[in-house]
Amino acid sequence: MIEAKFLITEESGRVARWLRLMGYDAVLAATKPLSELYQRAYREARIVVTRNSQVSASCLFRVIQLRSVNRDEQLRQILQETGVGIDEQRAFSRCDQCNVVLQEAPKAEVQDQVPPYVFSTQERFHSCPACGRIYWAATHWQRARELFDTLKT
């Protein structure tokens, strides 16, 4: 399994959310000033992903210049250029809003935090230590899984 951390420039924020759903550490950053962006990429060993043509490659960190505005194409390009994969173990392990690793939440503890229907039909829950959001295998995960399947091919 290849490890990779990403630094996404703000205009491509949607990609960050999807990388998090895949389980990768993806943070957003402004491109002004560029020097700060570069320092952070270097210090935290992150791959810079951007559509901003002013961001230039360096020997100190990697830059992926996204060619497409299409999300699927962007994700495919990132997977191809980095060699990172989509795997079941990693996917859905991270809060897509906070970029924090989710913790398993015992079913008994989430009862008042999820809709009754969800509580009665789901067995496994996770919570985000940062925002407190409760996650379960809901429809948007299903949709994400379908997207992942198309990206794999």
**Judged by CB under 5 A, which stretch of 14-22, 26-34, 115-123, 131-139 contacts Zn ion?**
131-139
Could you say whether residue 102 binds Zn ion (CB under 5 A)? no
Could you say whether residue 137 binds Zn ion (CB under 5 A)? no
Which of 45, 57, 60, 130 touches Zn ion (CB under 5 A)?
Answer: 130
Could you say whether residue 26 binds Zn ion (CB under 5 A)? no
DSSP 127: E
- 42: which 2 tokens? 């270097």
- 118: which 2 tokens? 């969800």
Could you say whether residue 30 binds Zn ion (CB under 5 A)? no
Half-sphere exposure of 102 (CA within 13 A, CB side): 26
Least distance to Zn ion from the beta carbon of 108, Å? Answer: 21
16 vs 24: CA distance, rounded Å: 9
- 140: which 2 tokens? 């948007």
Could you say whether residue 131 binds Zn ion (CB under 5 A)? yes
114 vs 2: CA distance, rounded Å: 34
Which of 28, 98, 134, 137 touches Zn ion (CB under 5 A)?
Answer: 98
43 vs 39: CA distance, rounded Å: 6
Could you say whether residue 101 binds Zn ion (CB under 5 A)? no
Binding site for Zn ion (CB under 5 A): 95, 97-98, 128, 130-131
